[in-house]
Structure 1
Amino acid sequence: MQYKQLGTTGLQVSQLCFGTMTFGAEASKKESHEMFSLAKEKGINFFDCANKYANGESERILGECIKDCRDEVIITTKAASRVNSDVNSIGLSRKHLMLELEKSLKRLNSEYIDIYYLHYFDPYTNMEDTMRFLDDAVKQGKILYTGVSNWSAWQIMKAIHISKTNFLQTIDCIQPMYSLVKRQAEVELFPLAIDQNLAVVPYSPIGSGLLTGKYSTKNNNESTRLNEKDYYNQRYMDENYHNIANKFCSLLKIMVLIVHN
């Protein structure tokens, strides 16, 4: 396993980050533990989670997995998504983030979270309040580094400006969707990351399985994300994405044949 510097944090993380969204959902607790053990055995020390995954169960299972190796792994989690029916159980308000951070720490059975992502941009909350919350959490030792996921370039730059102007903890890491079929991040996010020395941790690098070739066959009735979840299907419904995936997989097959011959 190769390791990379995570921006300017000083952290060394495995080139592959293991996503735990299936823990407690598609994967049972036993399967989740087995996947974690295998990933760690192969050298992965970077594990991504979120408070909304499996209604918090993903964090609970990940907390069990890291019980005996907490200092050896880099753990991320997120907040912003709606977690229950209460009107304030969503967004980036100080109240919501404070409650969700404490719940995440408890579920993860950890005194701190290595990287805490703001999962979505919140247009209804004063961004300075959100950045001050992150600054407070870092000073309290509950968060070590901060990040944002699914934010546009102007939103990230505004957060950086607010934090630097007010001498607050700034953004260390961004987490955009990025793959061969979803390349929007190349336009503004990557240049911004280079300019501001931000770490970039892309999610869905294989297009939720599209780039593996498993959707290339007609009448695919397998139990998969694209077949069972509307928002994944809508995300990759463009026929051009499937054409790209098919060409990519064909090229991979040719490369494998060349290597074996």
Structure 2
Amino acid sequence: MNYKSLGKTGIKVSELCFGTMSFGSRANKEQSQRMYSMCREQGINFFDCANVYQKGVAEEYLGSFIAAERDKVVITTKAYGAMGDDVNAKGCSAKNLQNSLHQSLKRLGTDYVDVFFLHHYDPATSEEEVLRTLDSFVRDGKVLSVGVSNYAAFQVERLLRVSDVKHLVGVQCIQPMYNLAKRMAEVELFPMASAEGMGVITYSPLAGGLLTGRYSKAEGKKSGRLVENPKYKARYEGVFYEQVGSSFAAYADQLGMHPATLGIAWVMANQAVTAPILGAADPEQLKPALDAPAHRLSEEVLKHLDTISPPLPPAHDRTDERS
């Protein structure tokens, strides 16, 4: 396992991050513990979590797993989503962020988190208000660095501008969706992150299972997240995504690689990415994902994958200027 600097934080993280969204839902505690152990055995020291994952259950699981080695692992959590019925139990207000962090630290059984993410952009709360709250977390030692997830590049830059002018903590890491079927992050987010020296950890490297090829088969179309979850269905529905999924799985078979291994190796090949976030429902599903670092993709393979899902035009749409 190789280790990289997480942006300018100085923190060294493994080139794979494990996402704990399945903890307490698709994976029971025993399965979750086994997957955590498998990651540690492979040298992964980076674990991503969020308060809304099973309303805190994932944080409780992760907290119990890291208890004996807290200083050896890098953990994240997030705040924004509703954790209760109260009108103030969501968003990026100082009230909700303060309460969310307090509760997350209790569930995780730790005094601090390495990265605290804003899970979504909140148009109702000013950038200065958000940053002053985050700045106080860092000053109190409860948060080491700040990140944002599901933000547009211009929203991140607005935060950076305010943090610079007001001398407040800045954004040090971003967490966008990124996979071969969804390449939007390449247009503005990745160039911005590289220019600003940010860490980048990307989620959904297998497009919710689309890139495994399971949804190309008649049996696969009967169940699974892309069938049962309205959000995933809307995200990957249509002829283009069906073609990408089937073509990708066929090419992985041609290469003699598991599609999960190929999909994650493709994300790792992008120099802007610090670490893709792995997700798995059980230990067996995790195995091919952990094999990705052993497969550095050739230019020939990368070019072929571009024919399956072509890169998007740059933001200024001057494709003629590509070298």
TM-score, normalization: structure 1?
Answer: 0.96
RMSD of aligned Cα (Å): 1.4
CA distance 1:221–1:180, shift in 2 (3 Å): closer
Paired residue type of 1:111: D
Q: Which residue of 1 aligns with 2:166?
A: 166
Residues 99-130 of structure 1: CA distance to partner in whole angstroms, max 9, x if unpaired? 00000000000000000000000000111010
Pairwise CA distance, 1:254: 1.1
Paired residue type of 1:113: V
Answer yes or no: is 1:41 the counterpart of 2:34. no
Q: In the aligned structure 1, how far is the partner of 2:209 from the partner of 2:35?
A: 17
Q: Secondary structure at the match of 1:136?
A: helix
Q: In the aligned structure 2, how far is the partner of 1:239 from the partner of 1:17?
A: 31
Quick check: 12-21 or 214-223, which moved more? 214-223
Q: Which residue of 1 aligns with 2:211?
A: 211
Q: Which residue of 2 aligns with 1:143?
A: 143
Q: Which residue of 2 aligns with 1:113?
A: 113
Q: Which residue of 2 aligns with 1:190?
A: 190
CA distance 1:40–1:223, shift in 2 (3 Å): farther
Q: In the aligned structure 2, how far is the partner of 1:71 from the partner of 1:225?
A: 35
Residues 13-60 of structure 1: CA distance to partner in whole angstroms, max 9, x if unpaired? 111110000101111111111111111111111100000001110000
Q: Which residue of 2 aligns with 1:253?
A: 253
Residues 157-205 of structure 1: CA distance to partner in whole angstroms, max 9, x if unpaired? 0000000111111000000000000111111111111111111111101
Q: In the aligned structure 2, how far is the partner of 1:24 from the partner of 1:155?
A: 32
Q: Which residue of 2 aligns with 1:79?
A: 79
The correspondence of residues 4-153 of structure 1 with structure 2, limited to 5 A, is 4-153=4-153
Q: In the aligned structure 2, how far is the partner of 1:122 from the partner of 1:136?
A: 19
Q: Please identify runs of 4+ aligned residues in structure 1 that moved more than 6 A.
A: none
Q: Which residue of 2 aligns with 1:220?
A: 220
Q: In the aligned structure 1, how far is the partner of 2:222 from the partner of 2:58?
A: 23
Q: Which residue of 1 aligns with 2:319?
A: none
Q: In the aligned structure 2, how far is the partner of 1:239 from the partner of 1:213?
A: 14
Runs of 5+ in structure 1 lacking a partner? none
Identity among equivalent pairs (%): 46
Pairwise CA distance, 1:221: 5.7
Does the 8 A contact of 2:215 with 2:221 survive in 1? Answer: no
Q: In the aligned structure 1, how far is the partner of 2:9 from the partner of 2:87?
A: 35
Q: In the aligned structure 2, how far is the partner of 1:116 from the partner of 1:127?
A: 16
Q: Secondary structure at the match of 1:54?
A: helix
The correspondence of residues 230-241 of structure 1 with structure 2, limited to 5 A, is 230-241=230-241
Pairwise CA distance, 1:227: 2.4
Q: In the aligned structure 1, how far is the partner of 2:22 from the partner of 2:255?
A: 31
Paired residue type of 2:112: Y
Q: Which residue of 2 aligns with 1:154?
A: 154
CA distance 1:114–1:222, shift in 2 (3 Å): farther
TM-score, normalization: structure 2?
Answer: 0.78
CA distance 1:121–1:175, shift in 2 (3 Å): same
Higher relative contact order (CA 8 A, sep 6+): 2
Q: Which residue of 2 aligns with 1:175?
A: 175
The total of aligned residue pairs comes to: 258
